[in-house]
Structure 1
Amino acid sequence: MTLKSYQNEAELLVKNYLLSDPVIPYSSVLGGILAFKVLYDLVQLISTFYFRSYNSLTKIQRIEWNNRGVSTLHAVFISFMSLYFVFWSDLFLDEHHPGLITLRSSPLSTFTLGVSVGYFLADLGMICWLYPSLGGLEYIVHHSLSGVAVAYSVFTGEGQLYTFMVLISEMTTPEINMRWHLDISGLKRSNAYLINGVFIFFGWLMARILLFVYMFHHVYIHYSQVIQMHSVGYFLVFVVPCALSIMNLMWFGKIIKGLVKMLAKKQ
């Protein structure tokens, strides 16, 4: 009976405080930061015991290994949730809800984006602290743009649909991280490295090129609603995806060159 009462109190605490509408943005961001720390330590612990190559790495390589592990877990989480909200949930369907599509949100959508903000803040902090070991200026620009845009959607409720569309691109992150792990493990000339490169090519094409075209098309169709957003939100809807698109195209060019080079060596 005592255990049941504690369970009920915990459920009330979560419902009335952590997941209450005014608190969700703050609790979710904090939760994302704490999750980053917990997952970082968990990746470190598992890697120490189950990956022999991990212990032979340098200190900065182990830090990057752990960081990329958390990055992969976040990418799986946010890409799945983004796909759900964009294509499966009825939250952003025109015929299911009245009102502007650019102003729709839910406790779950806000909480999901808040967790992602927490991740971007924690990861950006590590990148800046260890700069340039974990990434150069392009990583700082990418995380800063993403973090600002996602945070705006969390704290205002505006433009969450387009935020989720952009975050679907995180589905390419596990393949990018896998390439690094294969490289650091001395498997750059393996078939696994080549296959992963092919997955990166098609994943990048779908999630970071064609999907952005779809997003801009959606903005065009719903421009009468987009223009009613706050000026800051309106600015972010256009500027952030455009900036990320340019970066994605630049990286895609490098991916194509790398893939062609690998295929040439295999012949």
Structure 2
Amino acid sequence: MKSYSQTEVLVKDYLLADAIIPYTSVLCGIFMCKVAYDLSQLVSSVNLKSYASLTKIQRIEWNNRGMSSAHAIFITIMSLYLVFFSDFFSDQIEGPVTLRSSNISTFSLGVSAGYFLTDLAMMFWSYPCLGGLEYVLHHSLSLCAIAYAMLTGEGQLYTYMVLISETTTPGINMRWFLDTTGMKRSGAYLINGVLMFFAWLVARILLFIYLFYHIYLHFNQVLQMHAFGYCLALGVPSTLFIMNMMWFLKILKGLKKILAKRQ
């Protein structure tokens, strides 16, 4: 009990102290990435025979995708809770939704920032094996918006709305896993493609349209943000939406091609 009390005090007075939450949370995000990467490597090498036959860069990408899936699950849960299940960003609470922040919301953004920093570093280290220019642009815009919302407390609602799109990441990674292990013609690959199509449509197309509608309804509150935050709230989702549409058309084209082969 004494040890538990000491741990509780440490978390409350250090990890969740207002002034240092951004920094400790980013470190926690980087640590989470390291643990997820190592776990992916350990579990895959022990349980999957096909993992041993992969090239060095394929193993790096395999573990990297395991890391990104772990982040996606975490941030999707936190985003869905804060946006749709918590009353924190509700219009029923007095004050602009664009200026609200809490220890939990700030900490979660810091963990996500730690992931994007780690993933960007890995991309640059092995460029372009882990992603080309479009992925670097996507991660850079996301990191910029997340860091601003985390450090200033502005626009966290819209940042979390955008981060819900990470719910599609495990499906994308699973598609790569199946392709890499020679299961491109399997039923699992087709099911994954169909699920990814609908998940992308909801999380990266329809949800972004709802985000723009929400900005329109609360535009007077958006204007209360600093100029840079105002530009981020409008510019980042718009740029990502265009990229999402381009990728969505590729997903649709690929799904049509797979379905045509199976007829």
User: For residue 120 of structure 1, what is the aligned residue in structure 2?
Assistant: 116
Is it true that 1:52 corresponds to 2:49 in the alignment? yes
Distance 1:209 1:66 in 2: 28
Distance 2:259 2:10 in 1: 56
User: For residue 19 of structure 2, what is the aligned residue in structure 1?
Assistant: 22
Is it true that 1:37 corresponds to 2:38 in the alignment? no
User: For residue 142 of structure 1, what is the aligned residue in structure 2?
Assistant: 138
Question: Which consecutive residues of structure 1, in runs of 5 or more, have no partner in the other structure?
Answer: none
Shift of 1:43: 1.0
The residue type paired with residue 193 of structure 1 is Y
1:67-89 Cα offsets, whole Å, 9 max, x none, are 00011111111111101111000
The residue type paired with residue 225 of structure 2 is M
Question: Which consecutive residues of structure 2, in runs of 5 or more, have no partner in the other structure?
Answer: none
User: For residue 133 of structure 1, what is the aligned residue in structure 2?
Assistant: 129
Distance 2:208 2:233 in 1: 12
Shift of 1:51: 1.1
The residue type paired with residue 79 of structure 2 is S
Is it true that 1:213 corresponds to 2:195 in the alignment? no
Distance 2:82 2:187 in 1: 35
1:220-263 Cα offsets, whole Å, 9 max, x none, are 00001001100010000011001100100000110011000000
Length-normalised TM-score, structure 2: 0.99
Which stretches of structure 1, 4 residues or more, deviate above 6 A after TM superposition?
none
Shift of 1:6: 2.7
* Secondary structure at 1:135 match in 2: coil
Length-normalised TM-score, structure 1: 0.97
User: For residue 167 of structure 1, what is the aligned residue in structure 2?
Assistant: 163
User: For residue 7 of structure 1, what is the aligned residue in structure 2?
Assistant: 4
User: For residue 63 of structure 1, what is the aligned residue in structure 2?
Assistant: 60
User: For residue 182 of structure 1, what is the aligned residue in structure 2?
Assistant: 178
The residue type paired with residue 231 of structure 1 is A
* Secondary structure at 1:22 match in 2: helix
- Counterpart of 1:241 (choices 237, 242, 246) is 237
* Secondary structure at 2:260 match in 1: helix
